[in-house]
Chains A and B, each alone.
Chain A
C-alpha cells in the first residue's frame, strides 16, 4: 500500500469560515480522490483530482463549495468553503497507486465539526 497522510486530523470550525485539508502521499500517483462520510453513513465521492487538470466533481458537489488543488503527483488539498453545520463530516483522501489493479487506498481522514 502507501502512506497517505491527512492534515488536520480533526477540527472544530465556526460557520461561515473555510477549512483547507491537506493530503500527502509517499509515492507519486496519478489519481487522487476526495470522499465525504457524513455521521454514521457511508462514503460519497466528492471529486477526482488529477495532476495538471481541473478536478471532476460528482453530482451535488460544486467547485465553489469544495475547491481542490493538485499541484503535483504527491499532494492535494480540499477546501470546505463557507461552512455550515451540515458540512460536519469526515473528509477522506484516497488514491489509486497506479499499479493497474484499481485498488483504492485511504488516508486516516479529517473529522470536521462546524458550530
Chain B
C-alpha cells in the first residue's frame, strides 16, 4: 500500500506484481513530461517520457499515462523486480526553454 513517510510517500509492492506510481503536476500549460528513477547514491536516470499530445506511451515493462484533464501522470511498472526499488520522480517542462519542475518523489519498495 501507499503511505506518507517522513519525507517521501512510499509504495510497497510484492515482487512480480505491477506497480503504479502517481504524480499530480502543477501547470496546465506543461507540454512535456519525464519519469526518472533514482537509486541510492546515484543521479536520476531517465525512464520514459511523454508529450502532451499523447495520453499513453509504452516502454520496456513501463507505461506512462497522462490525463491532462486532471493534471495527472502515472508510471506503471509491470512484473516489478527487486532492481526496481528506488525513488521515482516525475518532471514537467513548463514550456519555456528547458525548465523542468520535479515532483516530490515516491519511494518504491519491492518485497521478496
B43 and A1 contact, CB distance less than 8 A: no
B44 and A45 contact, CB distance less than 8 A: no
B42 and A108 contact, CB distance less than 8 A: yes
CA distance A42 to B8 in the complex (A): 9
Interface of chain B, main secondary structure = loop
Known: A31-B98, A104-B100, A106-B44. 17 other contacts (CB 8 A): A33-B98, A41-B104, A41-B105, A42-B89, A43-B89, A45-B99, A48-B98, A92-B44, A103-B34, A103-B49, A104-B91, A104-B98, A105-B46, A108-B41, A108-B43, A109-B43, A111-B41
Interface residues of B in 7-64 (CB under 8 A from A): 7-8, 32, 34, 36, 41-46, 49
Task: Kindly list chain A residues whose C-beta atoms are within 8 Å of the C-beta of B46.
Answer: 1, 103-105
When C-beta atoms are compared, the residue in chain B nearest to A102 turns out to be B32
| Per-residue A-contact encoding for B76-97, CB less than 8 Å = 1, 0 else | 0000000000000101010001
* B positions within 8 Å CB-CB of A: 6-8, 32, 34, 36, 41-46, 49, 89, 91, 93, 97-100, 102-105
* A positions within 8 Å CB-CB of B: 1, 4, 6, 31, 33, 39-45, 48, 92, 94, 96, 101-109, 111
CA distance A41 to B105 in the complex (A): 8
A-B contact pairs, 25 of them (CB 8 A): A1-B46, A4-B43, A6-B43, A31-B98, A40-B6, A40-B7, A41-B104, A41-B105, A42-B102, A42-B103, A43-B89, A43-B91, A43-B102, A44-B102, A45-B99, A45-B100, A48-B98, A103-B46, A104-B46, A104-B98, A104-B100, A106-B43, A108-B43, A109-B41, A109-B42
A102 and B104 contact, CB distance less than 8 A: no
Task: Kindly list chain A residues whose C-beta atoms are within 8 Å of the C-beta of B36.
Answer: 106
When C-beta atoms are compared, the residue in chain B nearest to A108 turns out to be B43
